[in-house]
Amino acid sequence: MLTTFPYNGTLIKYRKSFIERMMIPKTVLLRMLSSYTNGSHLRLLLRHPPQNRVAATVAQVHEPIHLRPLLKKLQCPAGFKRIETSCYYIVKELMEFDQAASNCDGMDAHMFVPQDINEWHEVIALAPSYAWTWTGIVKKGFSQDPEWNGVANSMDISTLPWLVKPYTPFGNGWTELSQCAAYYNTGTESLNYVYYYLCGLSFYSICEANPNTTD
């Protein structure tokens, strides 16, 4: 359900009009391009500088697209909150991990998958206080790397506020049974943490959806 695209050193061609050379978040660029299909082919050389931001270099120049008017055209489904170019819904019904994932699917969404630490902080701040919220992180086996609910190209999980630092799965509760990571909001940001739990426990969750565009 996530829109993905190659970007590391890869030349991408989109049917787009002009976008000035600018620094914008990867998710913003992607959704802006995917929302507007009129205009000439625009070749963008996308690279991955610090802080997970994308430098867009224009190879063909046509009429300008301004970011602010485009952002105003983005509308979230009912009940979702828009942050930047994504929509988020805080599910305040306790569910097991698989139930939470299926619930998001039923809303034409997916479990929250941050692209960088800034998005993580903005969205996880919405999590209910004094409660656990599923992060979407699953580590299924001893030799397998953790995944964000099966989604690639998401942020490095070692940068999250794990209970035990530096991050190791075993130091943070991972076992063959405790494979799903949840975030506990203590009410004090500096004390909040992520830890592995049984996937069959019932926690809150966050769904993420792409916005719709209006004319």
Mean pLDDT (the chain, rounded): 75
Report, as an integer, the average pLDDT of 136-157.
83
Confidence of residue 214 (pLDDT cuts 50, 70, 90): low
Nearest to 127 by CA among 194, 52, 197: 194
Over 60: is that where the pLDDT of 12 sits?
no
Contacts of 131 (CB under 8 A, 6+ apart): 184, 185, 203, 204
Question: Which pLDDT score is estimated for 6?
Answer: 43
Distance CA(151)–CA(124), nearest Å, equals: 18
| Virtual torsion, Cα 80, 93, 155, 149, nearest 10 deg | -110
Q: Does the structural domain 77-212 have CATH classification 2.60.120.200?
A: no
Question: Which pLDDT score is estimated for 71?
Answer: 58
The helix (H) or strand (E) run that includes residue 81 is: strand 81-83
Q: In the sheet where 22-25 sits, what is the strand order?
A: 10-15, 41-47, 53-58, 22-25
Confidence of residue 73 (pLDDT cuts 50, 70, 90): low
Over 50: is that where the pLDDT of 75 sits?
yes
Confidence of residue 22 (pLDDT cuts 50, 70, 90): very low
Q: Which residue in this structure is represented by tokens 């998401």? A: 154
Distance CA(124)–CA(144), nearest Å, equals: 25
Confidence of residue 51 (pLDDT cuts 50, 70, 90): very low
Over 60: is that where the pLDDT of 124 sits?
yes
The residue extents of the domains of the chain are 10-71, 77-212
* Percent of the chain residues topping a pLDDT of 70: 63
| Of 86 and 20, more confident | 86
